[in-house]
Structures are given as C-alpha cells and as structure tokens.
Structure 1
Amino acid sequence: MTAHGAADPATERPHGAQHTAAEFAAVYGAAPTGTWAAPGRVNLIGEHTDYNDGFVMPLALPHTTLAAASARTDGVLRLHSGGADGGIVELRIDALRPEPDPQAGWAAYPAGVVWAMREAGLPVGGADLHYDSTVPTGAGLSSSAALEVVTALALNGLYALGQEPQQLARLAQRAENAFVGVPCGIMDQTAAACCTAGHALFLDTRALTRRQIPFDLAGEGLRLLVVDTRVKHELGDGAYAERRAGCERGARALGVRALRDVPYAHLPEALAGLADDPVTQALVRHIVTENHRVEEVVALLDAGRTRAIGPLLTTGHASLRDDFKISCRELDLAVDTANAAGALGARMTGGGFGGSAIVLVEEADAPAVGAAVTEAFAAAGHAAPRIFEAVPSAGAHRVE
C-alpha cells in the first residue's frame, strides 16, 4: 500500500529469492548454496535509548535485504550488490582489520561481520555473496543492520555455526561499532534478527530480554504509515556520536551506570543537579522520559488500547525535536501536517536530521493524511515524500 506518495520501495524493482539467486549465478557463474533475508525496521517508540541501556520497541518491515551465498575454501570474500556500482569487491578474510576506511563504502558492513565472527572464534571461511535490497537507504530504516544481519545469518548457515538470533545481532553490532566505526546500540540488529510477524518487539537493551507484543493494526482498522522524507542533512554527520557522548556525560554527572538507571519519578531532582549544563540536562530529560513512554506504550498495548498510544508518539517527537534536537523541518512538517489532518499520532523515527517519520492513523483516514503530507511538502518546495505502510513482519530467516 502507498498513500499519495512515491512508490513503495518493496515494489519498485524485481526482488525475491529466485531473482537474487539468478543474479548471483550471473555474477559468479554458479548457483548459490542458499538465500537468506533480513528486514529493515521502524521504531515505534524508544529513540536513542538503546545506547543508554534503555527500552525500545521496534517492528520489522516487509522490506528486506536478501543475500545469496556460497562458501569458499580459499580465504577470499567476494561481495556484490545489485544496488551499488563498482562490480565485485574482493577481500582476503585474514587481512580484514577494524580500521574504518571512508572509501570502503557499503562493503565495510559485511566485511565487518566476517571480521567480528572470526574475532569471536567462529570458524568462518571465505564466501561469495550477492545482495539485493528493498530497504531504503538513508531513510532511518536500518538498511545497514539488515545488511549486517543477513550476512551473519548466511555465514551461520553456510558454516553451520549454530548461533542464535540474538548472538548474530551482537556480532552484527560489533561489526558496526568496531569495524565500521559507528557507535550504535543493539536495537537495529536485534530488530532485524529477532522480530516476528504481527508483533512489535519490546526489548530491554541492557538485559537483552525480549517480549513480542501483538500489534495487529489491520485487525483494529488502523494503519502505521512511514513517511520517508528522502532527505539527510549534513548536520547529522557526527551528531549521533555527540548525543551519545552527552548522554554518557550526564550519566557520570548523576553517578549512574547509564541514564536508564535514573527513575522517572526522580527526574526533577536529576535535572536540578544538571542546572548548570542545560545541553546535558535536555539530553537526560529526553532519555528518561522516552524510557517511560516505552513502558506506557507497552501497558496500553497490553490493555488493548492501541489508539491511545498516538499522543505518546507525538510527545516523543516533541522531545526529540526540542530536547535531543535531532529533527529537521521536513520531519516536523510531516508530523505536524499528519496530526492536523486527523492522524492519531506521529513522530520521527531513526537517528534524526532527516530520514522517516511514522504516522498512526485510522484506516479510513490514511489516504487523506498521506495526501495532506504530500501536498504540504509540495507547497514547501520539498521533494515528494515516499509514503508506505509499515506492516509488522518477520525477522531474519532463510528463504531458499
């Protein structure tokens, strides 16, 4: 489904296990051993809380990255993407080093997974891999985590490593942190590896305990729309690391291991203790209140009150905009317009400074809300957003 925006990326070009396997054969000259899939994700609530040991609630999208793969015995890793220029990237697995190379591009993510698995003592050898993806890049929908997790899952299958989904998520996060050099939390990789269809995933990122929360939007006459603004502002470069460092600074100032340990009931006292540092104070306020919002959403969903989560989404956006300062004019326009057009609630999702917003809306109102957002973007001189439905889908799995 689309809603008065550009085409859904899942339908823009051929995509499927047979198509990906055929492309593998065309590139490498032989059929693959198998084909695996890992999804993108949207985060319903719980933004920037994962690296603060907090709570998150992502759901997997139907948009996936597929990997067709075969093992090699010569220690060579060959990588090819149907969506990237440059042909085959060929590397030796024993030469992989965690030294971020800005020229490495997309291949750094799967190469990092191979490095992380070998560093963990897993007997991973060479491989040929071909990737095909419908997860939009630069949209805040975790295309990098999908790429990492599908690589880990394919290698797990090729080499019979016996790793569980959460273990694969950890290895994928390690690849992004240490090899690629992005200090992300564990949420994106866990969502790609562990989500189940028809559910949102309530994840405690410290304990790594998970609970699948039923999220049958269609059954309740609701839709969750993704508004991909198609923008990524340069201001976002390095800002993620700055926010993380600020949160760690706040935790040290408050004498806690992580901001997750600041009780919501004690927030006023915590903020008073940071009165001389308003920047850190604002970061702390967002994380503590966002963790509380996740718990409130869980309680409402458990009670069958899905529509009541809408205002919490909107409040979460205001916190990201005003305290964390990671929104932008396009995201604010999408959220404000959707709410004015009758949405139950809306917020930005992902790292910020562009990317996507999510909109909870009655099924009957979805076309009008989508049209209002598209028209508002046109009136403001922005490129047309891509608007499509987020259907809670399955995590990583073998498809062929």
Structure 2
Amino acid sequence: MAEKNPTICIIDDNPEDREIFRRYLLQDTRYHYQCYEEETGEEGLALCKRIQPDCILLDYKLPDIDGIEFLAGLVDASGSVPFAVIMLAGLGDEGIALQAMKSGAQDYLVKDEMTPGNLFRAIHNAIERTAMRRSLEKHQQDLEQKNQEIQAFAYALAHDLRAPLRAITGFSQIVEQDYQAVLDADGRHYMENIVHACAQMDRLIDDLLNYTRIEHRAIRFKPVALGYLMQQIVKGMATRINENQATINIAEDLPTVYGDATLINQIFVNLLENALVYHKPGENAQVTISWWEEDESAVICLADNGIGISPKNHEKIFNLFQRLHSDDIYPGTGIGLAIVKKAVDLLDGFVWVESTLGVESKFFVKLPKYVL
C-alpha cells in the first residue's frame, strides 16, 4: 500500500507552473502530499537522490539539462530509473513522449492540456507503482537475507554433524578391524551396519552442501565445450566406470553450449552417477550420450540400459530426498537429481526423463546453444 503522505519532487524552472501544480495537489482528496521543489536539473537530481520521492514531476525544458538527460542522471546500478517520473512538456512535443518513456519515464503530460483529473491519475499510478516496487525490493532483500541465513545454517550444521560423525566412523572402523576375533556373527553384522550408515551420512552431508551451494554461488555464463567436458567427467569417474564394467559412448560432435561450466559439470556427473547406480542386476551398464539442435538450444540425451522408471514417477524423481528404492538395494541420498534440476533451472534450461520400466531411461537436458 502507498503512504498516506507521499513525497513529490517538482523540477521546473517556471514559478507559475509550480504554483499551479501545488494548487492542484491541494485539491486531491486521496493523499496529503509533501512537496519539494527545484528549478534546475542538477539541483533536482541531488534533491531526488536525497529525498527518494514517490513521484517526480519533471519539466522537459530545464535551464541546464533537458528531461532525457535528467532521466539518465537518475539511472541506478541496475540500469533502470528507480523513481516514477512524469514528464511535462508543451504542445507539439509528442516525439519527446516516446523518447521519455524509452528512457525510463512512467508517464507524460502536456502542460497546456493538464487538468487536476489527468494529473491526479498520473500521480496516483506513479505512487502505486513506486509502492509496489519498494515492496518487491524489500521482499527480495528479505528473501536474500533468509537465503544467506539458510546457507550459514547448512554450513554450520554440516560442520557440527561432521565432528561427531568422524569420531563414530573412526571408532567403528577400529572395532570392525581390530576386534573381529572377539565379536560373534551378530556383533560383526552390527558393526558393518554402523560403518555403512556413517558412510551414507557423510554422503548425505556432502550432497546437501552441494545443493545449498548451487543457489548461492555466482553464475558465470560463458561458452562450454561439452565434448571436452564429458571427456573430463568420464576421466574423473574412471574408477567407478571400471568397477561397474560400464560402457560410455559419447557422440563425437557434442556442441558448445552457453552456461556455467561448474553447474553443467554437476548436471552430467549426477546423471552419469545415476546411470551407474541404477543398472539391472547381472548386466553391465551401458550409457550413450547424444544430442540434437532445437531452435537456438542443444538437447543432450543421456540414455542407459537400467531398471527404468515408472511414468508416475517421472517428475517426482527430481524432488529433493525423493528415492524410489531402499538404500540396501540401490545406495543414494535422493539429492542427485534434485541438484540436476536446480542447476538446469539456473541456466534457463529444461530437464526431463522418458523411461520404460525394466528396459531403459533417457534423460534430456536442454541448454542454450552457443552461437558465434
């Protein structure tokens, strides 16, 4: 909601016109205005930046600068005019109106045709727009603060969890290795479960931190050669691939996309990890990475010969902590595909899956294609 006593800056070198504006404003029954005045552009700019008004009535023809130059002087770091400006000019200056609107003015009025009614409508719209913008800015600031608090909490929680977890893991491994002779079968089984649970908890903390970091790191858009990136990913995962006796087939002509290399790396690392985990028992994993062009985007397809996903779960699998199988059968934290979805969203892309249960899964990632 707008303030009941909004501030208005009148920037006009004609004292008679300023008097008319003040007299009109006194007739407005909706608001009680706080008016400030200046006669020159430079003094007006300084006034507006100091007062932060709800609305500016700006004469196009000022003694030192014109209205377009005034608007340029108001532009903030984001490249926009942070105030609602109503440009005022004479008859025959219709061309100024279009130029003023392109330069950031909200409205335009002809002085000789001004009435209390059309002035009030323009000012009311300006005040409401200013109130909405300030409300959105405050909401954004509150949201950023909450995000920072969540990130700090996540880091603190991870640090506090890891200290006792390391102790539990270390002592469990000592008992498992050094005291097997004095433990019966049940005791050894329990110790194996403890060590396994510690490892799973450590993976969960790592994945949670990775998910939290995604939203709070600076995103750097640049050309990313997918062919080279995929080779590096496969090289880094060579041990896992060899352990699973998996086959990874990568198209030789993978394109260059436009995005953040770190996020794109996380997308395909998690998708490839997913394919290695969810392969059919008794079969070696086979993964084929292909692509095609669609409009100005590249669609990358990662197809596997795994256990498949039921159609009812095609969207659900991208939710945080969503798991379709127990950890005993297929280990994981339920965060990997959520990281994929979050990273793709941040890159203005799309991700989806097509799958036949018990046969295969195809994950598709659509990203902006880099164009020279």
Greater helix content: 2
Greater C-alpha radius of gyration: 2
- TM-score, normalised with respect to structure 1: 0.20
Larger RCO (CA under 8 A, 6+ residues apart): 1
- TM-score, normalised with respect to structure 2: 0.21
Greater strand content: 1
